[in-house]
Structure 1
């Protein structure tokens, strides 16, 4: 069984995009703070999380606290992008194997949501092109 949260921290810290394949369930659902519909499946979820590794995972990024209960965790994070403070949470649920089945990101304040939307769109487009 996968130690989900420990593995997640390692992947985030190392920006290990390739490690996402083992951590995500095939039927994982990703909930973005800026996309209105849930994104279903490992392929699209991997794209979003890989982009987030690079957009959010800068030298200011850190998790402030986490709450784990059974197969659920809430991880509060802090970072800055272009001088904009971003405060958010990752809400993660995993199955009995330890693979993530649901990943929801919530971000505040509005200026942070707008900045994140702009940066993530650019990163997703760049990753699609190359």
Structure 2
């Protein structure tokens, strides 16, 4: 059984420090990411890490978690951020496997104007590919 408090603490630490290299270490090999902007689920730890690290870059300093709801093996984390002057509100729905690794990560974002500002910025960041860690 997953020690959810430890798994959740590791996620928060990666986000708070901007440790993009640490994202990959938190993911199960068969992790799945569901984006508010992409129809098909993105499967596999490398692809999920690419989406999550791109989001970390795009949402940057404005990103903060405000509340969370925790279940036996999952959590819903409410966040706010800003992209190109558009305020975003959203949730990250995260599920961990028995080893404490993220197996599913679903993002929902509102309002539509914020999502519309986010989508091209994410596309640009994903096109750039993996970047070196922001913090040496």
TM bucket normalised to smaller: over 0.9
Aligned mate of 1:125, from 102, 124, 127: 127
Return the alpha-carbon distance in structure 2 between the equivalents of residues 18 and 80 of structure 1.
Answer: 23
Tell me, in whole angstroms, the C-alpha distance in 2 between the residues paired with 1:28 and 1:128. 18
Q: How many residues align?
A: 129
Q: CA RMSD in A?
A: 1.6
Whether 2:14 is the aligned partner of 1:11: answer yes
* CA deviations over 1:88-122 (Å, ceiling 9, x no partner): 00000001111000000000000011111011001
Which of 35, 39, 52 is residue 38 of structure 2 equivalent to?
Answer: 35
Label 1:125 to 1:97 Cα distance change in 2 as closer, same or farther (>3 A): same
Measure the CA separation in 1 of the matches of 2:75 and 2:95: 7
Aligned-residue offset at 1:79? 0.7
Show structure 1 runs of 4+ deviating over 3 A: none
TM-score, normalized by length of structure 2? 0.89
The match for 1:82 among 78, 81, 84 is 84
Unpaired stretches in structure 2, ≥5 consecutive residues: none
Segment of structure 1 superposing worse, 6-15 or 40-49: 6-15
